[in-house]
Amino acid sequence: MKHTISVLVENKFGVLSRVSGLFSGRGFNIESLSVGETIDPAVSLMTIITTGDDRIVEQITKQLNKLIDIIKVVDFMEIDHVERELVLIKVSPRKSDKAEFLKIAEIFRGRIIDSGTQTFTVEITGDEKKIAAFIEIIKPYGIKEFVRTGKVAIAREGLKKK
């Protein structure tokens, strides 16, 4: 089962390696990880996507909580939330396909943020499903390069338990 875990940490050097070391040292898997400052510059937020059965994920959240520099751990599995990921994709459609490709990008609310003689770079944000669908559809147009930020997640108002 895939879990999105949000980890509030002290913004100190070495914290990221404490977290990543915990995963590698205990054989847990990180599928994606994104880190950024919060409104309080002394605090950073990590969003970690990991997989495992209930017992493993319970261990992961407990072990994270045990690290001294970690302030709060939230497993979004239990919380109503929204998730987004941003992906930049460089595509080189044939001349005859360009119009069609741009149409598809528009349907997915992709933004063309760079274009040259050979390629377009599309910026697309969305949840996992949307991004997977978009990638699937544009594959035939020729993907040259592809970067993704890793998912971020935020609870919906009221922090309702599912």
Binding site for another protein (CB under 8 A): 9-10, 13-14, 17-18, 21, 25, 55, 58-59, 62-63, 65-66, 68-71
Which SS3 state, helix, strand or coil, does residue 107 take?
helix
Closest approach, Cβ 6 to another protein, in A, equals: 15
Closest approach, Cβ 154 to another protein, in A, equals: 21
Whichever of 69 and 127 has its CB closer to another protein, that residue is 69
Closest approach, Cβ 18 to another protein, in A, equals: 6
Q: Distance between CA 53 and CA 88 in Å, rounded? A: 31
Whichever of 29 and 65 has its CB closer to another protein, that residue is 65
Which SS3 state, helix, strand or coil, does residue 110 take?
coil
Closest approach, Cβ 16 to another protein, in A, equals: 11
Neighbours of 136 (CB within 10 A): 9
The conformation of residue 161, written as its DSSP 8-state character, comes to B
Q: Which residue has the tokens 């994606």?
A: 32
Whichever of 59 and 118 has its CB closer to another protein, that residue is 59
Which SS3 state, helix, strand or coil, does residue 134 take?
helix
Is the four-CA dihedral 107, 111, 116, 120 of positive or negative sign?
negative
Q: Distance between CA 122 and CA 147 in Å, rounded? A: 11
Whichever of 18 and 98 has its CB closer to another protein, that residue is 18
Closest approach, Cβ 162 to another protein, in A, equals: 22
Contacts of 16 (CB under 8 A, 6+ apart): 35, 46
Whichever of 70 and 104 has its CB closer to another protein, that residue is 70
